[in-house]
Amino acid sequence: MQNPELLHQFSHFVPFHEKKDVATFLGASHLPLVLLAVDFENGNLLLKGDMEYLTAFSVPHTAFSESGNRIIIEADIQPRVIIDLENLRSNGMLLSVSGTINDGSFVTNCTGVLILQKQELTTRKLNADWLMSLVLYEGMDATREIRYDFPLYRGQKNVQNN
């Protein structure tokens, strides 16, 4: 019998870098573009990042305020669950997310979903075993969207990729 590969927690970090495709983001170079920490077991999500970077692929592209581009999102995840990445009966999971977005001058509610999707070998996005997508909407204006995809690599050889 194979040991299950259980996902209790997940973290993802994108450092600031000076490549041309991200040089237009106004974030401070000593802060990461994205820092994500998810605790599935306790139902907590923390996302810190550059607002322009996080919304670069969202439609419509809007900012939550004019005060700056750093945001902190603190949210609860439901259901609270340890995820078995070896479960062959499941190719994905949808979790509810609700919390707050803080841009340093304004705090607003947000709701959305955290989607975990098993990637097929022939259609893999970001060359990852699983893809985690966070989609959030600001409570006062549902047209304001944050959508970001995070690769999830399994196995010892890929631990540092997450």
Give the integer Cα–Cα distance in Å for 41 and 10: 11
Total Cβ atoms within 10 A of residue 154:
16
User: Can you tell me the distance from the alpha carbon of 56 to that of 88, in angstroms, rounded to the nearest whole number?
Assistant: 34
93 burial type by CB count under 10 A (0-12 exposed, 13-18 middle, 19+ buried): middle
Is the pTM of the predicted complex or chain greater than 0.75?
Answer: yes
The answer to whether 146 touches 54, Cβ cutoff 8 Å, is: yes
**Domain range list for the chain:** 6-161
The answer, yes or no, to whether residue 128 has pLDDT greater than 80, is no
Residue 118: which pLDDT band, with cuts at 50, 70 and 90?
A: confident
Q: What is the pLDDT of residues 37-93, one digit of tens each?
A: 999 999 999 999 887 777 665 544 444 444 457 889 999 999 999 888 877 677 889
